[in-house]
Amino acid sequence: MVKHLAFLFIAILGANFSCAQDSLLTDVPVHDPVMIRQDGTYYLFATGRGINVWSSKDMKGWKKEKSVFSSPPEWAVKAVPGFRGHIWAPDIAYYQGLYYLYYSISTFGKNGSCIGLATNKTLDPADPDFKWIDHEKVIESVPGRDEWNAIDPNLIIDENKQPWLSFGSFWNGLKLVALGQDAKTIALPQKWYTLASVPGNPVKSDSSAGKGAIEAPFIFKKDKYYYLFASYDYCCKGENSTYKMRIGRSEKLTGPYIDKDNIPMKQGGGTLLLQGDSNWHGVGHNSVYTFDDTDYLIFHGYDAKDKGKSKLRIEKLNWDAQNWPYIKINK
């Protein structure tokens, strides 16, 4: 059951996380959450064994659903040594009459990874047409061959209805590649773009996290801009997590993405959107959606008041006069 609390706030950009009005404070235990709505029901997908799934009518009370996969996909076990069924960082989208669920197959600290894809006609488990069809591997990264990591996918459709997939983690940063019209394969001829990286920038990154500490791209189109949200520094360390969200924008999907200081994100730029504080650690791995004309930032954070447990966070996303997003929080 979800706890829904409202708090007064003061607007501030790029500050520490705290409890805010319109914030949904939940006990849903997630990492890397993404969300979609079908027929009045919200569906939440997150990292977990077989991919964790929840449903809700109001984004407040959440019901645990069955995982997408009841057992580890055989192709993934063969493709990634050490993989045992814990699937990372899914991405959910509705495209060409189907629900597309991209997902990450990987192990910590290695870039021998794959991005897989499953589709479904419906997200309602009670619907007779409900059935996940696995299309297996879409993108693979190979150690010694690739200087990027095939995890953390995010599908974006451009103004020409061309599907693209952004992805990546550490190494030499976040990548973008065009997909075929079925969004199940890489378009030919292949052309790869770098969206963002951290070239040892001591101002923009936590020096303890080392070079390349960036992951989880999410691209959101609003008016004339594409906005790139990315998570920097260390995730998954509870109270020691230094995870934080930074942003840049571009009028072209392929970039370059520029921050508020006019620094390209692929040169270490990125304007701070949200970071942790003494109440919530390691806030990050976000997604962004518009429901009923309101934009929401969906992410996870570690609750300092509950033994550092990772929980779902939902915040209203606001926009300033220069069309930059910000979160209204309490100092």
Query: What is the number of H-type helices and E-type strands within the chain?
Result: 1, 25
Annotated active-site residue 233? The verdict is no
74 is catalytic: no
- Is the distance from CB of 316 to CB of 298 less than 8 angstroms? no
Q: Where does residue 43 fall: left (phi above 0), alpha (psi -120 to 50 degrees), or beta otherwise?
A: beta
Annotated binding site: 32, 109, 149-152, 169-171
If you ran DSSP here, which 8-state letter would residue 79 be given?
H
Among the listed residues 32, 146, 303, 315, the single catalytic one is 32
Cβ neighbour number for residue 256 with a 10 Å cutoff: 18
- 274's CB contacts (< 8 A; 6+ apart) are 14, 15, 17, 244, 245, 283, 284, 297, 299, 315, 327
Catalytic residue among 91, 146, 215, 233: 215
Contact assessment for residue 51 and residue 68, using Cβ atoms and an 8 Å cutoff: yes
Annotated binding site for substrate: 32, 109, 149-152, 169-171
Scan for tokens 């008041």, then name that residue.
305
Q: Please, is 40 exposed, middle or buried when counting C-beta atoms within 10 Å of its C-beta (0-12, 13-18, 19+)?
A: exposed
Would you name the residues annotated as active-site residues? 32, 215
